[in-house]
Structure 1
Amino acid sequence: MTEFRRVGLSTGVTLNVAFAGPEDAPAILFLHGFPESHRTWREIVPRLEDQFRLIMPDQRGFAGSDLVQDVGAYKTETLIGDVFALADTLGLDEFALVGHDWGGAISWGAALRGDPRLKKLAIVNAPHPVVFQKSLIEDADQRAASQYISAFRAPGFDKAIEAMGYRAFFDKTFARHVGTSKILEAEKQQYIADWSQPGAMTSMLNWYRGSRVVVPPPGVTVPLPDWLLRAFPKVEVPTLVVWGMQDTALLPIQLEGLEELVEDLRIERLPEAGHFAPWEAPDEVANALRDFLA
């Protein structure tokens, strides 16, 4: 059974957190991405809750958590800080981290901190920052697929979504990738209700606006950012990457070169799944996570 608690963090935000599984079982923090919530994991919970303590926050700016409006509150280091502040508040001596989409991006960054409490890392369709930034500059297909990021960053785009209607936005950003047959109407209504809260779309889009990733326009030659030219630390915790190979937003090129950036890497490819693999292929995702995290 899933229970909910509002948890105040030392980083200044209060998160809505879902919990499932035995309290004395190994702790797993699950981080969702855009444009979701803890509900990303709704099909994973019944498949893992017998074995693990599942901790699933709505991240800052989403759903039932604080909808912070200041774009400066969405810097990568701040978002990573929320992860460890949540672990502090819950008194976790050790935990594993599972992240999808933006949650995966933050999970990569969290692993690079070298905090000894973080024992394992699992990523679902979320690119390593080095591979992603290089691909945006060097690969025409990934650059084209990522132009939506520039649109999301544009001033007033939140108002454009409001004018479009959240149901239409759902169809364009979520159902287009998952397929309406896999989404119950009640789930759709919950997402629309979350997005319809005052300031919610602004806070969600601030994840893109606060990021320093460079997305050049098509056909423009730009140099690699300075931070890519320096030595980049390896991820040292054991890492599983689960990838829906039909992802049209984050292409399979994101798997290339990972072995040079991760000390202990396992990759599980899901040939029939796309970007929202936890919804599209919950059995495959849960099985991969169980085998890795056990």
Structure 2
Amino acid sequence: MTALATVRIPLSTGITINACQGGPRTGRRDPIIFLHGFPESHRTWRYQLADLSQDHFVVAPDQRGFGRSDKPQDAADYEAHEIVADLIALADALDIRHFSLVGHDWGGAAAWLAALTHPGRIRRLVIVNAPHPLIFAKSLIEDEQQRAASQYMRAFRSPLIEQGIKAMGLEAFFEKSFGPHVDLAKIPERERRRYLEDWSQPGALTAMFNWYRASKMEVPAPGEQASLPAWTQTPFPRLAMPTLVIWGLKDKALLPIQLEGLGGLVDDLQIVTSATAGHFIPWEEPATVTCAIRDFLDLDLRHP
């Protein structure tokens, strides 16, 4: 087995990413690629990587704009197709043809899209507190509670957000980012320092918020009259690959309504929930996530 290590990987998309990888490259088990969300890095998956690398080859990149990966400053560089292109380029760079894909938050959004657009590459899909694009788009129009919970997206698209964070300081931004969602005492000091170091890099704040600026998801203001986007009213492709959705039900940003109707969009669906975890369940309740992923992936071995 190859021990976990961080490496720099140039991609055919023109950027170089920082990634944590390790584990055996041979055997029956497919490699696993993990995609983190905002405002994190590959370390979102630190507990899962340590466990699953015992018998899987695992790769967790700092996605473009995050951690120690390249940070383009143009919002257009963060459109969804660019993010998915990075994923496929990463798999190609590591000579990985087929893989299981795990995504949380924005990483989950990328994982949903990758599964829809590259189903031949992804054997199994694991989504952690990240809404299906069709359900999310509809809920932002039709559900006032979800719309209210998503108003932060409008704030994060503001051209003034970076100035506001610099004025308040990164320490205060850390508390505002995580405080409403998790007991800050659950974040070890060494992890807090890593966040602050990553966010302090030149261009880091703009790069992270460009994920929101590039998103085409419509987020009306509370009470604003809005119609469903045209694309939500046309037939939407179903996913055929086995899919596991893990959800911390105390998530204040992505409400349990995001689980409603998933069975109509995914042919082979499992859902695992936690009543005690919130949005950052991968490190709030790591055993819940790791065990669910392991059980899900082991189905391939029990039913070859």
TM-score (norm. length: structure 1): 0.98
Name the structure 2 match of 1:13: 15
Q: Percent identity?
A: 53
The worse-fitting range, judged by mean Cα deviation, of 183-192 and 44-53 is 44-53
Mapped to 2, the partners of 1:189 and 1:178 lie a distance apart of 17
Could you list the per-position Cα deviations for residues 192-233 of structure 1 after superposition, in whole angstroms to 9, with x for gaps in the alignment? 010011110000000000000000000011111111111110
The answer to whether the Cα contact below 8 Å between 1:23 and 1:53 also exists between their aligned partners in 2 is: yes
Deviation at 1:47, TM superposition (A): 2.2
1:118 aligned to 118, 122, 138, which one?
122
Deviation at 1:149, TM superposition (A): 0.2
Say whether residues 1:237 and 2:241 are aligned partners. Answer: yes
Name the structure 2 match of 1:206: 210
**Superposition pairs for residues 253-272 of structure 1, below 5 Å?**
253-272=257-276
Deviation at 1:176, TM superposition (A): 3.0
User: Helix, strand or coil for the counterpart of 2:278?
Assistant: coil
Could you list the per-position Cα deviations for residues 23-75 of structure 1 after superposition, in whole angstroms to 9, with x for gaps in the alignment? 32530000000000001011222222212111000000001000110101011
Say whether residues 1:275 and 2:279 are aligned partners. Answer: yes
TM-score (norm. length: structure 2): 0.95
Name the structure 1 match of 2:223: 219
Mapped to 1, the partners of 2:193 and 2:118 lie a distance apart of 40
Name the structure 2 match of 1:285: 289
Opposite residue 185 of structure 1, the aligned amino acid is: E
How many residues end up aligned between the 2 structures?
294
2:100 aligned to 96, 102, 105, which one?
96
1:168 aligned to 164, 168, 172, which one?
172
Name the structure 2 match of 1:40: 44
Opposite residue 86 of structure 1, the aligned amino acid is: L
Deviation at 1:115, TM superposition (A): 3.5
Mapped to 1, the partners of 2:38 and 2:200 lie a distance apart of 15
User: Helix, strand or coil for the counterpart of 2:181?
Assistant: helix
**Superposition pairs for residues 50-89 of structure 1, below 5 Å?**
50-89=54-93
Opposite residue 96 of structure 2, the aligned amino acid is: L
The answer to whether the Cα contact below 8 Å between 1:98 and 1:107 also exists between their aligned partners in 2 is: yes
Mapped to 1, the partners of 2:209 and 2:215 lie a distance apart of 10
Mapped to 2, the partners of 1:127 and 1:36 lie a distance apart of 18
The answer to whether the Cα contact below 8 Å between 2:243 and 2:268 also exists between their aligned partners in 1 is: yes
The worse-fitting range, judged by mean Cα deviation, of 271-280 and 45-54 is 45-54
Mapped to 1, the partners of 2:233 and 2:197 lie a distance apart of 43
User: Helix, strand or coil for the counterpart of 1:207?
Assistant: helix
Mapped to 2, the partners of 1:93 and 1:149 lie a distance apart of 35
Name the structure 2 match of 1:195: 199
The worse-fitting range, judged by mean Cα deviation, of 284-293 and 43-52 is 43-52
User: Helix, strand or coil for the counterpart of 1:44?
Assistant: helix
Say whether residues 1:246 and 2:255 are aligned partners. Answer: no
Opposite residue 35 of structure 1, the aligned amino acid is: P
Say whether residues 1:179 and 2:183 are aligned partners. Answer: yes
The worse-fitting range, judged by mean Cα deviation, of 114-123 and 136-145 is 114-123
User: Helix, strand or coil for the counterpart of 2:215?
Assistant: coil
Q: Which runs of 4+ in 1 moved over 4 A?
A: none
The answer to whether the Cα contact below 8 Å between 2:119 and 2:241 also exists between their aligned partners in 1 is: no
Mapped to 2, the partners of 1:78 and 1:138 lie a distance apart of 29
